[in-house]
Amino acid sequence: KLLIKGWWLPVGGGDYSVFAGAPGITWIEPPDLVITPGGNLSVNCSTDCDQPQFIGLETQLVKTQVDNGTRWKVFLLKNITQDTLLHCFANCFGDAQMIYSTTVTVIQPPEPVTLESLPQWIPVGQNFSLRCQVWSGKPRKNLTMALLRGPQELSRQAVSEQDPGKAAEVTFTVTASREDHGVNFSCRAGLDLRAQGLGLYQKSSSIPTSLGAPRLLAPKLLEVGKKETLRCDIDKLFPVENAQIHLSLGGRNLNTTVIRDQDMLRATAIVVIAEGEKEGQWELTCNVTLADQNRQVQENLTVYKSPRDPVPIVMGVLLALGLAAMAGAIATLCLWQNLRKSSYQPQTLPLQDRTPMEGPEMGP
């Protein structure tokens, strides 16, 4: 326990800034201690005591003194991963010890964000409620929830008073109109820490009616060594800029070109099945994700290797054999004719004078 101006107070008992203005008051700079997980923080413990005997910082974190002056000291705190209580104290000459306590808050981005499912049909003119929840999101005083109709923000509410140990919940009431037909409603949580130099953290809910079924456009047969184009499309996707699409073939992710056009998302991949790859059934998968929703479609493609066509080969062989046989026949015929010409020599028979034979002498 510490004695403060005649009051016994426990160490870590809270914020003692109620004593502001009294001699020897201590404080911490910066006053709003907010940090990202695993970050470092410089803390300045100061006092307005005229003759401080000692200035210190009590914390469970590892601290290093990096600078000091007559009425102040600066400590460096490293690798802060969870909310931590700090006690800055000063011992003033002739007075009791003074202390100031505060908490370092480690931020938690707002996620996940959910929107309670809506009925499929709502009569025009009837009021309906949209209930949004967000888990996490610290510090709560910087957290708001907004209702969106398509890209248009309809309403925004703060959730600073809600218990940080539970999901923050807000309810919006909307009157159904004809213009709401087919429109997507969503919730968006925003953690605004720009004043602390940490930026704006936003997270949108899933949209129950926004994610349909993807469509695969691909040939059923893939020939080894031949270039083919595979494609996957999905329409009526909102917000399309937050959606992701992936193509895989045979369990391997493909290098895809992604196009986003209004509410359409498309992935295209050019593939070539290399020589030596196995033939048969290959599974083509298209996976689309939006917020915490996921849609997947699969098809089996057949990979084959085209054999050499035997018909031209047989015809070529037969043609060659036919030509060879014809050439052989022509050569044989020519040889036979040449042999006939060389072996047959016509001869001229000599003409001989013939004397008439005398007949037998006849008697008288």
Residue 151 confidence class, pLDDT cut points 50, 70, 90: confident
Q: What pLDDT shows up at residue 32?
A: 79
Q: What pLDDT shows up at residue 282?
A: 93
Q: List, for residues 16-36, the tens digit of each pLDDT value.
A: 333 333 456 788 888 878 888
Q: Does residue 21 or residue 235 have the better pLDDT? A: 235
Q: List, for residues 135-144, the tens digit of each pLDDT value.
A: 888 888 899 9
Mean pLDDT for the stretch of residues 206-224: 78
Q: List, for residues 36-53, the tens digit of each pLDDT value.
A: 899 899 999 999 887 788
Q: List, for residues 152-199, the tens digit of each pLDDT value.
A: 888 898 887 777 778 888 888 888 888 877 777 889 999 999 988 888
Q: List, for residues 4-19, the tens digit of each pLDDT value.
A: 322 223 333 333 333 3
Q: Does residue 117 or residue 287 have the better pLDDT? A: 287
Q: What pLDDT shows up at residue 224?
A: 92
Q: Cα separation of 65 and 88, whole Å?
A: 13
Q: Cα separation of 122 and 128, whole Å?
A: 8
What letter would DSSP give residue 22? S
Mean pLDDT for the stretch of residues 77-89: 91
Percent with pLDDT over 70 in the chain: 74
**Structural domains of the chain, with CATH:** 2-106 (2.60.40.10), 108-204 (2.60.40.10), 215-304 (2.60.40.10)
Q: What pLDDT shows up at residue 5?
A: 29
Residue from 338, 337, 238 nearest 288 by CA: 238
Residue from 251, 232, 234, 252 nearest 243 by CA: 234
Residue 211 confidence class, pLDDT cut points 50, 70, 90: low
Q: What pLDDT shows up at residue 321?
A: 63
Residue 327 confidence class, pLDDT cut points 50, 70, 90: low
Q: Would you say 14 and 4 are in contact if contact means Cβ atoms under 8 Å apart? A: no
User: How far is residue 246 from each of residues 113, 204, 232, 255, 286, measured CA to CA in Å?
Assistant: 24, 21, 9, 9, 6
Q: What pLDDT shows up at residue 93?
A: 75
Q: Cα separation of 110 and 203, whole Å?
A: 6
Highest mean pLDDT out of 12-21, 38-47, 200-209, 235-244: 38-47
Amino acid identity, position 357: M
Hey, which bits of 36-121 come out as E strands?
39-47, 52-58, 63-68, 72-80, 84-92, 97-106, 108-115
Q: Which residues pair with 295 in a beta bridge?
A: 288
